[in-house]
Structure formats: structure tokens, C-alpha cells
Amino acid sequence: MTTQYTKALIVVHREESAEDFREIAMRIKKLDPTICGAMAPEYISEEMLPAHFLILPLLVVYLVNPPASNNDQGVIRNASNLAVESLNKIQEYEHFKKHNIPCLPIEKFRWGMELDPAIYGDWVVLKPANIQSTGQDINMVPTKLIPKLTLLDFPDDHLIRKDEYYVQKFVKCGENPTHYRALVFLGEVILSFKAEQKSSYPNFFSKLNTLLSTSVASNMQEHRNISLTIDFEMNELAKKVSKTLSDYPLFGIDVIRDEETNKLYVIEINSGGNTWAFSSEMAQKLRLQVNSGELVDQYAAWDVAAEALVRKARELAS
């Protein structure tokens, strides 16, 4: 029976997404019965594979737990690999600049640092480097006040006491902080939504203590509205970004629109594999606002994902 197969494909996914990938696997089988597919929750190694997987041209797509290197004990020899990998915001910014992706200046925050208003404008955003998913303690501050800030200016429970921080040029995105996310899988958008904070930006004449106690993030999970949104201009920008990192299989690309110029900017790409919102633990609160079935139906996600996997297997399994 194995002689019917011409290529092999393995997708390594998070355990909570097993049902999603069973649905995708069934579609792959219908699209191309010559591809021998396996969906593996969390971990896979060469020793776990049936023998025929190792004699066929093989593509492994890691959406979680990729081997650290080609010498890693878990690596599957003679396989082509696509794997998630986290980049920090500075790495992302350097990549955007290299590939002419519209983005906003950003650098690590340092006490006493001075910023050029010609680059950063009149306002900047302070944001945590590592504690990011809650939207907590992301603050807008006048650029001229950055060199004067001290730890005593911040609330006692502010994340700046627990995390490194970045400073980034501020762009106002409507009446309330708003961003757009496109979930891109193997170059295809399979989910997109708009997130808008329920509160407006603080007054531009607010005192510093008010600014430093008011988050301007649009991803505050307890304090945002989510709506499924298809914006073709933003989708094209997200796909452009994904093409510049073609070895990465999954992105949650965040884009904002400047309310004054209407220009789009890419803020983050979230390439580390935590963005599979259809079933991931991190997206539970999103699914309380938008039904899981609606998420899948927006772009026929299982069909698009299966088609993308078949295309990549034909292209890369060698």
C-alpha cells in the first residue's frame, strides 16, 4: 500500500489543536492521496516514524518544539523543515527595514536616554519586552520626557519593575487604540480580526502619572472588542511580510493604520507559534467573543491550510 505514496508530510502542532489538524489531514488526503501525512501533537522523532516515512521525500512543519539545531537528538534526518521561531522586537524591526516593510522606529529603553524628535516625533510608546500578551502597562509618553523618567514615576505594580522595556514611535489609530491581526499560515491568510480597546486614548494634556497608569494597547484581553474583519490591503501587507521569512510557517501579524495619513505599519509578526487562535489556550478569551466556527469559516481555514500544506509538500519534500 505504501508504494502509492510519493511524498511524506508531518505537522507538529500543539496538543490542544489535535482536532483542528485531524480536519486538515482529511482534506489533504482528498486533495492529494499520494502525500503520506501525519499530524503529531507536541513532539516527533525519527524513532517514532513508520519506516516508509523515512524512505519518502519528507517535509516536517514545526508549529511547536522545533529541534534547536541539525545536531539536536530530535531532528529527522534527510527531511526538509519549516519551523516557528521567536524574534524579539529589535530583530523584527531590523528585518522590516532590510525588506522595506513599513514599520515604526523602536529601541531598548534606557533610563536617561534621549530620543531624536525628528525620528520619533512628539510622542512615543513604552512597551514591555517579554510580558506582552496581556496588553498591560503599554504607555504613551511625550518624547521630551523620556530622559527625565525615573522608576519613582511609575505605579508600584507597573511591569517596568519586572521586565525590560522598549520605546517606539507613537501613532494614533482612531479614537480608541486599534490594531488588525492577520493569521498567516504558509503564506496564506486563514484568519483576520480587528481589536479595539473599549477606552479612548488618554488626553494629550494628561499629567505624567495618568499617562503611566493608562495602557494604550489594543490587545488588553479584558478590555477590548474583537470583530472578524477582512481588509485586503492589510492582508497583502501581511502576506508580503511572510514571504520575507518563508522558512517560518506561522505568523500572527499585527498591523496598525495611522489615522492622520492612513498609512499602514507592521508592529509585530509573532512568529513563535502561539497564534493558532482556533484552539490555542492563549486565545480562549478571543473565542468567547467570536465563536470558533466563525473563526474557521471566515476564510474556510481548514481548506486553505490543507491546500497550502499540499503545495509546500510538493515544493519542498525532497
Segment 177-236, tens digit of pLDDT: 999 999 999 999 999 999 999 989 998 899 999 999 999 988 766 678 899 999 999 999
State residue 60's pLDDT score: 95
Q: How confident is the model at residue 291 (pLDDT cuts 50, 70, 90)?
A: confident
Write out the H or E segment, with its range, that includes residue 188: strand 188-197
Q: Are 296 and 289 in contact (CB under 8 A)?
A: no
Query: Sorting pLDDT into bands at 50, 70 and 90, what band is 51?
Result: confident
Q: Phi and psi of 202, rounded to 5°?
A: -65, 155
The confidence band for 288, taking pLDDT boundaries of 50, 70 and 90, is confident
Number of residues assigned to the chain: 318
Does residue 41 register a pLDDT over 80?
A: yes
> pLDDT tens digits, residue range 94-148?
999 999 999 999 999 999 999 999 999 999 999 999 876 677 899 999 999 999 9
Specify the 3-state DSSP secondary structure of 63.
Answer: coil
pLDDT bucket at 2, cuts 50 / 70 / 90: very low
What integer pLDDT is reported at residue 73 of this predicted model? Answer: 57
Q: Measured between alpha carbons, how far is 228 from 217 in angstroms, rounded to an integer? A: 18
Average pLDDT over residues 11-17: 95
Q: For 160, list phi and psi in degrees, rounded to 5.
A: -65, -15
pLDDT at 69: 64
Backbone angles phi, psi at 95, to 5 degrees: -65, -45
Q: What pLDDT score was predicted for residue 61?
A: 97
Confidence (pLDDT) at 281 = 86
Instruction: Kindly state the average pLDDT of the residues 234-260.
Output: 97
pLDDT band at 1 (very low <50, low <70, confident <90, very high): very low
pTM of the model: 0.93
Q: Mean pLDDT check: name the lowest of 31-40, 42-51, 58-67, 217-226.
A: 217-226
Report CA-CA distances (Å) from 269 to 91, 93, 228: 11, 10, 19
Please tell me which residue, 223 or 242, carries the higher pLDDT value.
242
Q: How far apart are CA 280 and CA 15, in angstroms?
A: 9
pLDDT class for 267, splitting at 50, 70, 90? very high
What are 56-88's pLDDT values in tens digits? 999 999 999 888 765 565 678 889 999 999 999
User: What is the arithmetic mean of pLDDT over 38-47?
Assistant: 88
Q: What is the pLDDT of residue 44?
A: 85
Band (48; pLDDT cuts 50, 70, 90): confident
The percentage of residues in the chain with a pLDDT greater than 70, rounded to a whole number, is 96
CA distance readout (Å), 135 to 195, 221, 226, 266 = 12, 7, 14, 17
- Mean pLDDT for the chain overall: 92
Give the span between the Cα atoms of 243 and 8, in whole angstroms. 24
